[in-house]
Structure 1
Amino acid sequence: MKFRRTPLALSLLAGLALAGQAQAEGTLHFANWSDYYPPELLKKFEKDTGIHATLDAYDSNETLLAKLKAGGGSYDVVVPSDSFIEIFVKEGLLQKLDKSQLPNAANLKEKFRTLSYDPGHDYTMPYLWGTTGYSYDSAQVPGGRLEESWKPFFEPPADLKGKVVALNSMDDLWPPATYLAGVDECTEDPKQAEKVLDLLLKQKPMLAMYNSDGTIERMAAGEVSMHQQWNGAFHRAHAQRASLVYVYPKEGIRLFIDNFAIPKDAANVKEAHAFINWMLLPENIAAASNFAKYNNAIEGSEKFMEKELFDDPAINTPADKLDRLKAFQLCSPKSMALRAKVWTKLKK
């Protein structure tokens, strides 16, 4: 999509207001998950910096990986998830960040300053974070209430056949399937992987589809009864349909962190750093949180965020559910290869 480019004189004035925010003229090609970044915020970035920006979308980490492997020179900033960072780095698809161009990294909250998948933030800076659970429509499920478990999702009631949707990514499906099957998420044992595959194959005939797009619209319209869903997407759907319920399964629920990164072949590296640094300002990242309905990693952003986000237990995890949150685990190449085989068999 195209946006108006602000004259240099105005961008210089904006720079004074931003207390030292570096000014630059140029172009930025930004790619992010579908419906995960407010277009008006990109216009503000253009106004503040004088950099012309475009926004492209993709629907999964796998899609982004394929795009970058095919030639990622068309993107300057992308947003991969924590679980894919090691893969992108090992494939040589990301370049190291120049920390001297990212002074606003000082705004990171303490718990986000060292992350297992990129301890020194050599390749990434946090964007938004949340949980991957599932939601259901209490007006459509038997008895109006389901057990707080992954069991109703992977083994749904018979009358929900064709009314359940799973996300179209092994990155999202594998962890909860291992939780319910009692299998180590990072298992290297083919027999244990077979247990996970059996669970997924049993679920498959009950599904309407595997789809990571349209989760908000599908649940808000009542098109399906149950949907694997990110908590921010649930919040947006729930605002349109009050009968929706977000589940924190007792077996565990996956935490995720999405991250800004610069592809190895990016053409506009200076502009990419300027954009990431700009997004590390509290007011700017808060605008993204308010749009996408996910939390962020920046100190001071709370005062710019909508109060309703903190009032929703799907966003602000209740104290009695905190022990159900499971952080990303960095699994061995052997384990990841086994997971890929399961996904291939599932999608045949």
Structure 2
Amino acid sequence: MKRLMSTVAVLATLLATVSVAHAEGSLNIYNWGNYTNPELIKKFEDKYKVKVTVTDYDSNDTALAKARQGGTGFDIAVPSQSYLPIWISEGLLLETDPGKMENAKNLSKEWADPDFDKGRKYSVPWQWGTIGIAVNTDVYKGDINSWSLVFDTPDELKGKINVVPEMSDIIYAAIRYNGGEWCTTDKAVLKKARDTLVNAKKNWISMEYATVEKMLAGDFAATVDWNGSALRQRLQKPSIHYGYPKEGFTYWSDNVVVLKEAKNVENAKLFQNFIMEPENAALISAFARYSNGVAGSDQFMPAEMKGAPELNVPEDLKKHTEFMRLCEPAVQELYTKIWTELQK
């Protein structure tokens, strides 16, 4: 999800070389903003003489809507696991069988045969992570492992906390904060969640994705955020720490798929296989600072990522994590109504 969205609409291929003029085709990637390592792209271009263009999106809903429209010109997209079944069921993807590709042998056991894409018939893992709260502990010195910072905001953080506008993540947090289970239809729980969100919003400074820049600048003192984003913040500002809410928090994965309308199918398959090489998977993680699903990539990771608290859930909080999934359409409709009201 994720994950440090930029406002840039298109990321043109960086560090292009003369060989691009003689490129053997092209590849058009549609990915989350500020999430694609230019070094990875250049390495792929140089190896296969393929010109790559990367276009940004800011949410799963945006990417899905674009794909549904058709005529995108994109070959590859990177949906989260909770949305991937929709892409598959609606016939938006090619069955490229990456689970049978040469480098599939490098996939970590836990990511080789996931429920959302059994046998990896469509997708290759890109990155995975958690959602929690990044906090400047120079401003707030209390317990950061609680959604109370967002929903019952302490005085030190009032008017200084941001909430990323991801519907499922935020409604999940509100439901769990009120003792409910994800995908619940319990009217009492949903009313509490709705009231919690609406009443808490007055204490938020904003609902936006540009968290890294504003946390570093001091515009935000805290933000709901993803762990890789929080790690990038801490590396530049040591007073920023990442909290894992004890009421419950989710983890997610983003996955590289090939669109059914892709014009550069063979190049897209090359890319899927390419990113399952440990050294290349490490390049992906080194940029956005999330974990990946490729075994052996750790040895190529930057030293500061090894043992980073943002990438290692404390043992006593692991029991509170849950893999994010999309609820049934009728349930999603209920949640969308709450979300729409919150946006007013």
- Shared fold per TM-score greater than 0.5: yes
**Secondary structure in 2 matching 1:239:** helix
- The two structures, once aligned, show a CA RMSD in angstroms of 2.0
- Which residue of 253, 258, 263 maps to 1:262? 258
Q: 1:108 & 1:39 partners in 2: Cα distance? A: 23
Check whether the contact 2:132–2:243 (CA below 8 A) recurs between aligned residues.
yes
Kindly indicate whether residue 205 of structure 2 is the aligned counterpart of residue 208 of structure 1.
yes
Kindly indicate whether residue 296 of structure 2 is the aligned counterpart of residue 314 of structure 1.
no
**Secondary structure in 1 matching 2:51:** strand
Q: Aligned pair in 2 of structure 1 residues 101, 266: CA closer, same or farther (>3 Å)?
A: farther
Q: 2:196 & 2:71 partners in 1: Cα distance? A: 36
Q: Which residue of 2 aligns with 1:288?
A: 284
**Secondary structure in 1 matching 2:76:** coil
Q: Aligned pair in 2 of structure 1 residues 40, 54: CA closer, same or farther (>3 Å)?
A: same
Check whether the contact 1:5–1:52 (CA below 8 A) recurs between aligned residues.
no
Q: Which residue of 2 aligns with 1:271?
A: 267
Check whether the contact 1:129–1:256 (CA below 8 A) recurs between aligned residues.
yes
Q: 1:78 & 1:177 partners in 2: Cα distance? A: 29
Q: Could you report, residue by residue, the CA deviation over 1:93-131 in whole angstroms, capped at 9, with x for unpaired residues?
A: 222223487321221111112212222322221110111
Per the TM alignment, residue 147 of structure 1 is displaced from its structure 2 partner at its CA by 4.7
Q: Which residue of 2 aligns with 1:198?
A: 195
Check whether the contact 1:309–1:316 (CA below 8 A) recurs between aligned residues.
no
Structure 1, 150-159 or 91-100: larger mean CA deviation: 91-100
Per the TM alignment, residue 177 of structure 1 is displaced from its structure 2 partner at its CA by 1.5
Q: Which residue of 2 aligns with 1:53?
A: 52
Within a 5 Å distance, the mapping from 1:35-184 to structure 2 comes to 35-99=34-98, 102-141=101-140, 144-184=141-181
TM-score (norm 2): 0.90
Per the TM alignment, residue 317 of structure 1 is displaced from its structure 2 partner at its CA by 2.2
Check whether the contact 2:125–2:255 (CA below 8 A) recurs between aligned residues.
yes
Q: Aligned pair in 2 of structure 1 residues 147, 219: CA closer, same or farther (>3 Å)?
A: closer
Q: 2:175 & 2:159 partners in 1: Cα distance? A: 23
Q: 1:228 & 1:197 partners in 2: Cα distance? A: 18
Q: Structure 1: which amino acid aligns with 2:285?
A: S
Within a 5 Å distance, the mapping from 1:329-340 to structure 2 comes to 329-340=325-336
- Structure 1 gap ranges (5+): 12-23
- Structure 2 gap ranges (5+): 1-11
Check whether the contact 1:6–1:47 (CA below 8 A) recurs between aligned residues.
no
Per the TM alignment, residue 6 of structure 1 is displaced from its structure 2 partner at its CA by 6.0
Q: Aligned pair in 2 of structure 1 residues 194, 89: CA closer, same or farther (>3 Å)?
A: farther
Q: 1:121 & 1:99 partners in 2: Cα distance? A: 6
Check whether the contact 1:5–1:50 (CA below 8 A) recurs between aligned residues.
no
Per the TM alignment, residue 268 of structure 1 is displaced from its structure 2 partner at its CA by 1.2
Structure 1, 146-155 or 244-253: larger mean CA deviation: 146-155
Q: Structure 1: which amino acid aligns with 2:253?
A: I
Check whether the contact 1:73–1:267 (CA below 8 A) recurs between aligned residues.
no
* Identical residues among aligned pairs (%): 36
Q: 1:85 & 1:305 partners in 2: Cα distance? A: 28
Q: 1:209 & 1:218 partners in 2: Cα distance? A: 11
Structure 1, 91-100 or 64-73: larger mean CA deviation: 91-100
Check whether the contact 2:98–2:122 (CA below 8 A) recurs between aligned residues.
no
Q: 2:196 & 2:42 partners in 1: Cα distance? A: 46
Structure 1, 70-79 or 44-53: larger mean CA deviation: 70-79
Q: Which residue of 1 aligns with 2:4?
A: none
Q: Which residue of 1 aligns with 2:223?
A: 227
Q: Could you report, residue by residue, the CA deviation over 1:16-73 in whole angstroms, capped at 9, with x for unpaired residues?
A: xxxxxxxx92110012111111112101100011111111111111221222223253
Structure 1, 163-172 or 97-106: larger mean CA deviation: 97-106
Q: Which residue of 2 aligns with 1:244?
A: 240
Per the TM alignment, residue 303 of structure 1 is displaced from its structure 2 partner at its CA by 1.0
Q: 2:139 & 2:285 partners in 1: Cα distance? A: 30
Per the TM alignment, residue 249 of structure 1 is displaced from its structure 2 partner at its CA by 1.2
Per the TM alignment, residue 244 of structure 1 is displaced from its structure 2 partner at its CA by 1.0
Q: Could you report, residue by residue, the CA deviation over 1:250-287 in whole angstroms, capped at 9, with x for unpaired residues?
A: 11221111111112222211111111110111000101
Within a 5 Å distance, the mapping from 1:8-23 to structure 2 comes to none
Check whether the contact 1:101–1:274 (CA below 8 A) recurs between aligned residues.
no
Check whether the contact 2:135–2:221 (CA below 8 A) recurs between aligned residues.
yes
Structure 1, 191-200 or 222-231: larger mean CA deviation: 191-200
Equivalenced residues, count = 331
Q: 1:128 & 1:338 partners in 2: Cα distance? A: 29
Q: Could you report, residue by residue, the CA deviation over 1:76-107 in whole angstroms, capped at 9, with x for unpaired residues?
A: 11111112112323333222223487321221
Check whether the contact 1:80–1:258 (CA below 8 A) recurs between aligned residues.
yes
